[in-house]
Amino acid sequence: MERRMKHGDHSLAQFARLGADPMQSAARATPIDLLRILAACAIFYFHSGQTARWPLFQWGEFAVATFIYLTTFCTMRYSKFAAGQTRAFWWSRFKAIYPTFAIISTIIFAVSYFYAPPKTGCRYAFRDFAANLLMLSQYVGRPWMTKSMWFIPFVLQIYLVMPLLMRIPVRLYTIPAAFLVSGTACAAVYAMQPGLSDHSYGICRNWSPIFRAPELLLGCLLARARSKGDAVAPVAVYVVCSGLVATLAILYPQASLTLLLPLRGVLVFLVLAAAAVALLPFIKSEGSGVIALLGRAAFPFILLHAPGIGFMSDRFGRSLLPWILYFVLCWTGAVTFVLALEKIQRRPKIIVSAEPGRCPSLIMAASHPGSPPTVFRGQVRGQVLSHSSGGDLPKSGNVSRAKIARSHQINYSG
């Protein structure tokens, strides 16, 4: 029996049921999208506050931890990776992330010829653009096109290590062991660069998931929780471990930024999660589609807003109204970008499925999240008898699979 998500049902059990069905867009569930939106807004608040000096703006930096938790959580719970399709999973993640990154990088590079970014004072060199597209900028000492682009190679590295994370057992010692591994790696970085604490902090924060292993593991353990009660223990253990690590900042003040990073990240996550829970009752079924769209736009928003921060700071300083208008403009641009990209990428896909004793089905689904599948039931060879939801094929009639393949320009197999 097919189970479809009803708007407003946000239980973990419902999430688990949806995760078993690759045709459902479980990752677009409203609570997760709200967390994405709130975390993206917090990062905007941090970047704008670096010059405008908003109250408590420093805490917005640590909203990145929320994206790390969500990356491993959604991958562990919802992706097709669980079915053993490792290569297909890696390729699908790369296709989902890199085109947006490459397009926005190209736009920023082109715009720099007309308006030089304040942080460099001149247009970007082609070697900067090439290093950015290859996702090597921070490793070869070149500037990123925007401050947030370091997260792209970081998150792709997370997807590469997911096979290892999938095999890690759920035990009480798992998170403390992760702190030990990442702590050893960070200590090695600081030992090799004495006197360069800021650069060492940048490496431990941005370069590799190995330095932030506890955050990866927390998302994985939350994904395996079968109830809200099961999710309390890993969060509690993580908070305790991050608190103990933070106390080491008293003994090693040169590494205080790195030692405080896990605790600050989880505290911001808990605040954002509480805000998302508080907002859920006000989101009606009609509004969940808007939240899903903004959730998909959170990633482009993070990349798009940073280039204009310097310009806004130079022209408007701490004037609140221009910053609000810029905030709205960035979200509008991100949503427009997502809708345009989805329209370009949207291609119907036909999948053949058959159960013992039943006739095969043709399942046609758009490639972008949120589109319901169209299921045609009948003989795969010769004709299609009926279908269960919309689509541009007739409800009955003689439709050969060759004709279906030609009309949708796809490679049809099965």
Q: pLDDT digit string (tens) for 154-187?
A: 999 999 888 888 888 777 788 999 999 999 999 9
* pLDDT beyond 60 at 388: no
The domain limits of the chain are: 12-345, 349-408
Dig out the tokens for 193 from the structure: 């660069």
Question: What is the 3 state secondary structure string of 280-337?
Answer: HHHCCCCCHHHHHHHHHHHHHHHHHHHHHHHHHHHHHCCCHHHHHHHHHHHHHHHHHH
* pLDDT beyond 50 at 390: no
Predicted local confidence at residue 118, as pLDDT: 61
- 375 phi, psi to nearest 5 deg: -110, 120
Q: Rounded distance, CA 52 to CA 308, Å?
A: 13
Predicted local confidence at residue 177, as pLDDT: 92
pLDDT confidence bin for 309, thresholds 50/70/90: confident
Predicted local confidence at residue 84, as pLDDT: 59
For 66, 172, 216, 221, 303, the CA distances from 73, given in Å and listed in that order, are 10, 18, 8, 8, 22
Average pLDDT along the chain = 77
Dig out the tokens for 368 from the structure: 């972008």
For 21, 162, 317, the CA distances from 63, given in Å and listed in that order, are 30, 22, 24
Predicted local confidence at residue 195, as pLDDT: 80
Write down the pTM of the prediction: 0.74
Q: Report yes or no: 375 and 365 within 8 Å, Cβ to Cβ.
A: no
Q: Report yes or no: 163 and 87 within 8 Å, Cβ to Cβ.
A: no
Which residue shows structure tokens 């059990």? 13
Q: Rounded distance, CA 55 to CA 49, Å?
A: 8
Q: Rounded distance, CA 69 to CA 214, Å?
A: 10
Q: Report yes or no: 304 and 108 within 8 Å, Cβ to Cβ.
A: no
Q: Rounded distance, CA 136 to CA 142, Å?
A: 8
Predicted local confidence at residue 285, as pLDDT: 63
Dump pLDDT digits (tens) for 238-295: 999 999 999 999 999 999 999 999 999 999 999 999 999 999 888 876 557 888 899 9
Choose between 291 and 307: higher pLDDT: 291
Choose between 8 and 150: higher pLDDT: 150
Q: Is 65 exposed, middle or buried (0-12, 13-18, 19+ CB in 10 A)?
A: buried
Which residue shows structure tokens 């798992």? 174
Choose between 331 and 164: higher pLDDT: 331
| Mean pLDDT of the 45-51 span | 90
Predicted local confidence at residue 328, as pLDDT: 95
| Mean pLDDT of the 134-153 span | 88
CA 261 to chain centre: 20
Predicted local confidence at residue 348, as pLDDT: 52
pLDDT confidence bin for 148, thresholds 50/70/90: confident
